[in-house]
Structure 1
Amino acid sequence: MRIIWAMDAFEDNKELNQKMADILTHLFESTRAEIEPLYLLRENEIVLPTYEVPTWVTDHSRTAESLFREVLEDYNLPFLQEPHVIPHASQSHAGAAEVLSDYAVRTKADMIVVGSHGRQGFQRFILGSFAESLLLQSEVPVYVIGAHCTHTDGVKNIMFPTEFGEHSKDNYRHVLEMAKQFGAEITLFHCIARPIESLFDLDTRPKVYNYKGKMLTLDQIVEHQIEHQTQRAHHWIEWAEREGVRANFQVDSSFEGIDKLILNAIDRHNVDLIVMEAQSGPMSAALLGSYTRNVVRAAHCPVYVLTRHFYDRQEDRFADISPAP
């Protein structure tokens, strides 16, 4: 496995960097991955006083690499590969994210680890978010460690919010492989969508609607969905057991916000890593719709996002994994 650690080396965020260092240590211990620290150097970003820079130093990227090594020494990570600096001319987060994604694909990286400050409101509007831009651009999965992250002691329980659809089935194979690498169990999480009652003219009399060829009340429709999704969850648990992975599930019908339910489930199930997929539908919406964005910003554990570009790549990423049941 090859991991790129995209680090904001020269910003005052040592606490967040230390969280990433702790998590990378556990990733290395579990996978023996090659981990390359990388810094995106925007043109003219590093300007040092002339008395600190010898006149022969004209290569800013070489200077940045030297400074980058000094920064990394604070985190005691002897397993890291040599740090790498990529100079670029883009003045936007989106452009920088595209540069990083291209490099990850070119060097056959399996994931990018990045930190997120979790900024909100006006501050985020002014400063933007590199992590969120990367989620839109990246062709490899992105492992996001947020400012609120407190779970840094390894991965023992992976939560996978899912719709149990065909897209999710492909990504569940990927989650199973991760669980085997980490020696972790999986918690499947599904939210029942609220029936669109506002479309109906409700009054005091009970209403029935044609649902899959049957005339049912709204309550019966919800009960049918719970039963159906519970059956699918049991099939996926059996699938995990055949792969040697322990799994459990939660089907929620409270109709609260999906992002809120996912965040609440972290502590309830003692989750160490959330895997979210960038697919359409009520469970995941558009990639940077409110669900994924809010979870990434507020989660107390890392969030591993299977990006849309990663999913859309044509090669068979699961060729060596057992077929779905």
Structure 2
Amino acid sequence: MRIIWAMDAFEDNKELNEKMAESLIHLFEQTRAEIEPLYLLRENEIVLPTYEVPTWVTDHSRTAESLFKEVLEDYNLPFLQEPHVIPHASQSHAGAAEVLSDYAVRTKADLIVVGSHGRHGFQRFILGSFAESLLLQSEVPVYVIGAQCNHTNGVKNILFPTEFGDHSKENFKHVLSFARLFNAEVTLFHAIARPIESLFDLDTRPKVYNFRGKMLTLEQIIEHQIEHQTQRAHHWIDWAAREGVQAGFRVDSSFQPIDKLILDSIDKDDIDLIMMEAQSGPMSAAILGSYTRNVVRAAHCPVYVFTRHFYDQQEDRFIETAP
């Protein structure tokens, strides 16, 4: 397994870097992966927050690599490969993310580990977010450790929010493979979507919805969906058992926002890692516009994101297919 640690080496974010370093220790202990620290050097600029940038630093990637090594020494990670600096000319997060994604594909990386500051509001509008741009651009999964993360001491319980669709089946194979590496348990989580529009909405009778060609009340639809999704969940639990992974499930019918339900599950199910798809059916028409972004920003544990570019690919590049 090959992992790229995309680190903002010269920004004053030591606390976030320490969280990433702790997660990388556990990733290495369980996978013995090749882990390459990488810094994206924008041409003509190295940002050093604590003192003025010397003129001799500018435009010298070798100098940046030397400084990068010095920064990495603070984290005591002897298993890391030689740090790599990639100069690029892009002035935007999206352009830099594309450079990183191309490099990851070219070097056959299996995972990109990146930190997220979790900025909100006007600050995020001005500064943007490299992690969120990477989720849109990357062709390999992205392992995001946010500013709110406090679960970095290993992976024992994995949450996999799912719609049980075709993409979910493919991504569940990767979840099972990852769970086996860590001897972790998996919790499948499904949220039932509220019907969009009722056919009859009168004060004198319950709302009636057109559900699969039948006129049913909301309570009947919920009951039907819980039964249907529970049956599907049991099939997936059996699948996990055949792969040597213990799994359980939870079906939620509260109609609360998906991101809130996922975040609440971290404490409710004692979750150490969320593995989620960047886009999946009714969970969101454009999930990166809200749900994935909100989860990544606020999660108290790392979030492993199957990016849209990744799961749209036909070729399974690095994890064996489950029978």
TM-score range, shorter chain: over 0.9
Letter in 2 for 1:315: E
Residue 312 of structure 1 deviates from its aligned partner by 1.5
The residue aligned with 1:84 is 84
Q: Which residue of 2 aligns with 1:294?
A: 294
- Residues 256 and 58 of structure 1: CA distance in aligned 2, closer, same or farther (over 3 Å): closer
Deviation at residue 35 of structure 1 after TM alignment: 0.1
Other structure's SS at 1:90 match = coil
- Match for 2:167: what amino acid? H
Asked if 1:60 is matched to 2:65, the reply is no
Judge which range, 86-95 or 275-284, deviates more.
275-284
Corresponding residue of 2:239: 239
Give the whole-Å Cα distance in 1 for the aligned partners of 2:227 and 2:11. 50
TM-score by length of 1: 0.94
Which moved further from structure 2: 189-198 or 10-19? 189-198
The unaligned stretches of length 5 or more in structure 1 are: none
Which shifted more, 102-111 or 274-283? 274-283
Equivalent residues of 2:138, 2:309 under 8 A apart: yes
Equivalent residue, structure 1, for 2:117: 117
Q: Distance in 2 between matches of 1:203 and 1:256?
A: 24
Shift of 1:176: 0.5
Residue 9 of structure 1 pairs with residue 36 of structure 2: no
What SS does the aligned partner of 1:134 have? helix
The residue that corresponds to 2:230 in the other structure is 230
Q: Does 1:139 align with 2:139?
A: yes
Post-superposition Cα deviations, 1:238-274, rounded to whole Å, max 9, x if no partner, equal 1111111000111000111110010000011110110
Q: Note if contact 1:42-1:87 (Cα within 8 Å) is conserved in structure 2.
A: yes
Matches of 2:219 and 2:26, distance apart in 1: 46
Whether the 8 Å CA contact 2:199–2:207 is kept in 1: the answer is no
**Aligned partner of 2:164: which letter?**
F
**Displacement of 1:157:** 0.6
For 2:317 and 2:103, the matched residues in 1 are separated by: 19
Distance 1:139 1:124 in 2: 24
Aligned counterpart, 2:49: none
Compared CA separation, residues 58 and 303, structure 1 to 2 (3 A): closer
CA RMSD of aligned residues (A): 1.7
Please give the alpha-carbon distance, in whole angstroms, between the structure 1 residues aligned to 2:101 and 2:175. Answer: 22
State how far apart, in whole Å, the 1-side matches of 2:175 and 2:5 are.
21
Shift of 1:281: 1.6
**How many percent of aligned residue pairs carry the same amino acid?**
84
User: 1:69 — aligned with what?
Assistant: 69
**1:318: how far off?**
7.5
- Partner SS, residue 41 of structure 1: strand
Report SS of the residue matched to 2:39.
strand
Is 1:311 the counterpart of 2:311 in the alignment? yes
Instruction: Kindly provide the amino acid, as one letter, of the partner of residue 238 in structure 1.
Output: D
Instruction: Measure how far apart 1:313 and its partner are.
Output: 1.7
CA distance in 2 between counterparts of 1:93 and 1:8 reads: 12
Instruction: Look up the equivalent residue of 1:38 and give its one-letter code.
Output: L
Q: Secondary structure at the match of 2:186?
A: strand
Cα distance in 1 for partners of 2:118, 2:174 equals 27
SS class of match (1:271): coil
Find the aligned partners of 1:119 and 1:207 in 2 and give their Cα distance: 41
Matched AA of 1:219 = E
Contact in 2 for aligned 1:174/1:318 (Cα 8 Å): no
- 2:53 corresponds to which letter in structure 1? L
What displacement does 1:203 show? 2.3
Unaligned runs of 5+ in 2: 47-51
Q: Map 1:103-252; keep pairs closer than 5 Å.
A: 103-197=103-197, 200-252=200-252
The alpha-carbon distance between structure 1 residues 219 and 63, as it changes in their structure 2 partners (threshold 3 A), is same
The letter for the 1-side match of 2:23 is I
Q: Give the distance between the partners of 2:20 and 2:122, measured in 1 at CA.
A: 26
Give distance in 2, aligned partners of 1:225 and 1:38: 46
- CA 1:71–1:168 in 2, change beyond 3 Å: closer, same or farther? same
The 8 Å contact of residues 110 and 318 in structure 2, kept in 1 or not, is answered as: no
Match of 1:48 among 49, 53, 57: 53
| TM-score, normalization by structure 2 | 0.94
Q: CA offset at residue 166 of structure 1?
A: 1.4
Q: CA deviation digits over 1:70-124, x for unaligned, max 9? A: 0000000000000000000100000000000000000000010000000000000
Question: What is the CA-CA distance between 1:282 and the residue it aligns to?
Answer: 1.5
